[in-house]
Amino acid sequence: MSSVPSSVKGVHYPRLRPGVKIATETTAKVVCRLETHRHLNNDHATIKTAEERFDHMSTPQYTGPIPIPTPETKPFWDGAKQHQLMIQRCRSCKQHYFYPRPLCPHCLSREVEWVEATGRGKLHTYVINHRAPRQPPIPPPFILAIVELDEGPRMMTNVVGTDPDPAKLPCDAPVEVVFDDVTPELTLPRFRLVNA
């Protein structure tokens, strides 16, 4: 017997191990280019405004995962610490790309370099997460998003500085990077709506 609620047919769920059940309430609201449904709880009443949520995120009690830079990702994290959004560009085909890797995904050239991105782009799609995992780095509800940078690559991030309301988050809305110094060693690039 399926443990997927009948009200969310058409929504893709990843394959689960035997014995693992999906909750009867949906834990996130998928909007824009993804399937949409409305099973929400009221967990977001604890923090009222987007500004309070962003201020709360910037506190020194960061509980989220701490990335460990690899040789491929170190320039990205070093740039973030200096409040620069660094991405890679191929010298052969002139294409920008993200996530960091030693060769161009467009032409497979190893002639790649790190460049500073403008930090501007558009909101491609997002999910409003109302039920966070244990010890979330951001209090729920929060916005997980994919932003398409002006240079072309897409990156997964958080949208901050606006209420997690689909009416306030139109797809293709212009966004810009903001940097959140979550620990003395770690700075995370996040994005906010330009006209919010």
Is 57 part of any domain?
yes
Count helices and strands in the chain by DSSP H and E runs = 2, 9
Q: Tell me, yes or no, whether 48 lies in a domain.
A: yes
Q: Which of 56, 87, 116 is the last residue of a domain?
A: 116
**Residues 50 and 140 grouped into a single domain:** yes
Structural domain count, the chain:
2
Q: What is the pLDDT of residue 196?
A: 62
The answer to whether position 20 is within a domain reads no
Q: Convert the pLDDT of each residue in 132-189 to its tens digit.
A: 777 677 778 889 999 999 999 999 999 999 989 999 999 999 999 999 998 888 899 9
- How many Å apart are CA 46 and CA 43, to the nearest integer? 7
Q: Which domain holds residue 83?
A: 74-116
One domain, residues 53 and 129: yes
9 within a domain of the structure (yes/no): no
Give yes or no: residues 133 and 182 share one domain: yes
Tens of pLDDT along 44-86? Answer: 434 344 445 445 444 447 777 888 899 999 999 999 999 999 9
107 plus 178 within the same structural domain: no
| Cα–Cα nearest to 140, from 24, 65, 56 | 56
Of the two residues 28 and 143, the one the predictor is more confident about is 143
Domain-located, residue 16 = no
* Residues 128, 141 contacting (CB under 8 angstroms): yes
**Alpha carbon distances (Å) from 148 to 3, 122, 193:** 34, 5, 13
For 160, 165, 190, the CA distances from 51, given in Å and listed in that order, are 8, 14, 14
Domain match, 49 and 123 both: yes
Residue 72 and residue 70: Cα distance in Å, rounded?
A: 5
The candidate with the shortest Cα–Cα distance to 127, out of 112, 138, 118, 113, is 138
Q: 55, 85, 116 — which closes off a domain?
A: 116
**2 falls within a domain:** no
**Tokens linked to 145:** 């998003």
Q: Do 59 and 38 fall into the same domain?
A: yes
Is 129 a residue whose pLDDT tops 60? yes
Of 84, 101, 116, the position where a domain reaches its end is 116
